[in-house]
Amino acid sequence: MRRTETTTTVDVAGLIKEFGRFRALDGLDLTVERGEVHGFLGPNGSGKSTTIRVLLGLLRADGGRVRLFGGDPWHDAVTLHRRLAYVPGDVHLWPNLTGGEVIDVLAAARGGLDRRRRETLLDRFELDPTKKARTYSKGNRQKVALVAALASDAELLVLDEPTSGLDPLMEAVFQECVADATDEGRTVLLSSHILAEVEALCDRVSIIRAGRTVQTGTLDELRHLTRTTVDARTRTPATMLDGLPGVHNLTTTAASAAASGIASGTGTRTDAAEAHRSPVAESGHHVRFDVDGEHLDEAMRTLAGAGITALTSTPPSLEELFLRHYGADNPADTDNPADTDNPADTESTADTAADATNTHGTNTHGTNTHGTSTHAINSADTDDTAPEPTAPTGNTSDDTAGTASGNRAERGVSR
C-alpha cells in the first residue's frame, strides 16, 4: 500500500456487518482525527468489538466505507498493522514465556520499540518482567499488553477495555501514559465502560447503540443535548417554572419548610437533610430542577423573576449522557452474536506475532486469515467452543487458529 498522509486516522461511514441474518453493524459512522483521544461507548452487544475487528482487518465489512490511515484495513492489513497497536480487555499470553520476553516478541513482530520507554513503563506499572506469563494475575497480564503497546512507536493505539483488571492506582498510571502518548502526537481510540476514565481522557466521544452511532462530538457539545441541574435560592417561590418547556423534576421548598423538608408549590416532599446539604438552601425559597440544554436560557430568565439570591448549576456528567441513551427503554443487553461467535476471535498472540511481513492468504467467510502483527494480545471475546490455537513454528502463521507446521509447540493461549 502506498502510504498517504491524512489528518483523519479512522474514517468509517455507513459500516454494515452481518452474521447470517443478524446485522451487528447497521450503518455505523466513526471518525477519529489524528492526535486525539476518541472515546467509543456502548453497552454489551452494541457493536464496539465488531467495529474494532473490522478496523483491524480481522473481519470484512459487508457494506459502507472503512479507511485506516487512508488505507483499506482488509486489503492493506500487513502495512497498516505496523502503524498501530491493540490492547484487548482480556489478555492471553504464551504461558512459558516471561512478561519481558512477550513484550520483546511483540516488539520484534511490529518493528521494534523504544528500550528506554519500555523500562520506564515497566517501572511505572510495577511489572516484574522476569516472571513466567502463567504466573501473572489478570491485572499483570493486562500490564504486559499495555507496556508492549505504549513502548512501541505506533501512531494509533486501539484500546478495548484496556484497564480491565487494574487497580485504581494503575488506572491512574494508565491515564498518565495515555496523556503522554497524545503529547507525542499519537492517536488513541478508547473503548471503555469506565465513564470517568473516558471523561478524563477523551477529546471526543461516540456513543453507539444497536450497531449505529447515536451521538458523537466533544463532551461540551454533547452536554448541550442533555439536561443541566439547577439548584437555587430565591426571594419568592419560583412556581412560575411549573409547566415551562424543557423543565423537569421541579421541586420548590418554602423558607419555613426548609428545616422540615416539606415541599410547597409544585414540588414533592423533599428530604430535610438533602435541603440542608444544598449550598443554596440555607434561607429563602429553595428550588431545584433539571432543564434541557435548548431551554436553559428561557428557564434562567424565568427563574430570575423570583429574585435569585444564590445559584449552582451542574453540567451533566458523561455517565448521565450515556444513561440518557441507554435508559429504561434500552433493550436487554444480550450478547451480540458478533462478539461471541466470531471465528476470527480464536486467534492468539502466537498466531499474530509470528510473521509480521507475511501477506494474508485466503479469505474465508469474511474473516481475514493473514499473518500479521495485528495486535498485542488475543481478544477477550474468544469463542470458548472454538479449538485453541497452537504456537506457530518456523515462519508461518495462521490468524484463525489451527495447528502450526512442524512439531506442536506450546499453546499460544492461556485459559
Q: What is the DSSP string of 31-98?
A: EEETT-EEEEE--TTSSHHHHHHHHTTSB--SEEEEEETTB-TTTSHHHHHTTEEEE-SS----TTSB
Q: Can you list the domains of the chain with their CATH numbers?
A: 8-221+336-368 (3.40.50.300), 227-315 (no CATH)
Strand partners, 363: 368
**Residues 116-123: what's their mean pLDDT?**
95
With a cut of 90, say whether residue 338 has pLDDT above it. no
More confident residue, 408 or 113: 113
Q: What is the pLDDT of residue 343?
A: 39
Q: What is the pLDDT of residue 293?
A: 80
Comparing CA positions, the residue from 10, 7, 4, 158 lying closest to residue 84 is 158
Which has the minimum average pLDDT: 18-27, 94-103, 138-147, 242-251?
Answer: 242-251
Q: Which helix (H) or strand (E) holds 287?
A: strand 285-292
Q: What is the pLDDT of residue 408?
A: 36
Q: What is the pLDDT of residue 114?
A: 85
**Residues 98-118: what's their mean pLDDT?**
89
Highest mean pLDDT among 131-140, 253-262, 358-367: 131-140
Q: What is the pLDDT of residue 4?
A: 53
Pairwise CA distance, residues 3 & 148, whole Å: 24
Q: What is the pLDDT of residue 399?
A: 39
Pairwise CA distance, residues 133 & 156, whole Å: 26
Q: What is the pLDDT of residue 74?
A: 95
Pairwise CA distance, residues 338 & 44, whole Å: 11
The answer to whether residues 300 and 287 touch, using CB atoms and an 8 Å cutoff, is: no
With a cut of 90, say whether residue 409 has pLDDT above it. no
Q: What is the pLDDT of residue 282?
A: 52
Q: What is the pLDDT of residue 341?
A: 41
Pairwise CA distance, residues 106 & 118, whole Å: 12
Cβ-in-10-Å burial (0-12, 13-18, 19+) of 92 comes to: buried
Highest mean pLDDT among 272-286, 291-305, 321-335: 291-305
With a cut of 90, say whether residue 333 has pLDDT above it. no
Which has the minimum average pLDDT: 64-78, 123-137, 166-180, 362-376?
Answer: 362-376
The answer to whether residues 83 and 74 touch, using CB atoms and an 8 Å cutoff, is: no
* Buried/exposed code over 316-335 (b: 16+ C-beta within 10 A; e: otherwise): bebebbbebbbeeeeeeeee
DSSP-derived 3-state class of residue 273: helix
Strands 156-160 and 187-191: parallel
DSSP-derived 3-state class of residue 191: strand
With a cut of 60, say whether residue 272 has pLDDT above it. no
Quick one: CA dihedral 103, 105, 111, 112, positive or negative?
A: positive
DSSP 264: B
Q: What is the pLDDT of residue 213?
A: 94
The answer to whether residues 42 and 195 touch, using CB atoms and an 8 Å cutoff, is: no
Q: What percent of the chain has pLDDT over 70?
A: 69
Work out the mean pLDDT of the chain and round it to a whole number: 77
Cβ-in-10-Å burial (0-12, 13-18, 19+) of 21 comes to: exposed
Pairwise CA distance, residues 183 & 177, whole Å: 10
Please give the radius of gyration of the chain, using alpha carbons only, rounded to the nearest integer: 26
C-alpha cell at 279: 449550598
Continuous H helices in 184-314: 195-201, 219-223, 272-277, 296-304
Q: Is pTM beyond 0.85 here?
A: no
The answer to whether residues 25 and 15 touch, using CB atoms and an 8 Å cutoff, is: yes
With a cut of 50, say whether residue 365 has pLDDT above it. no
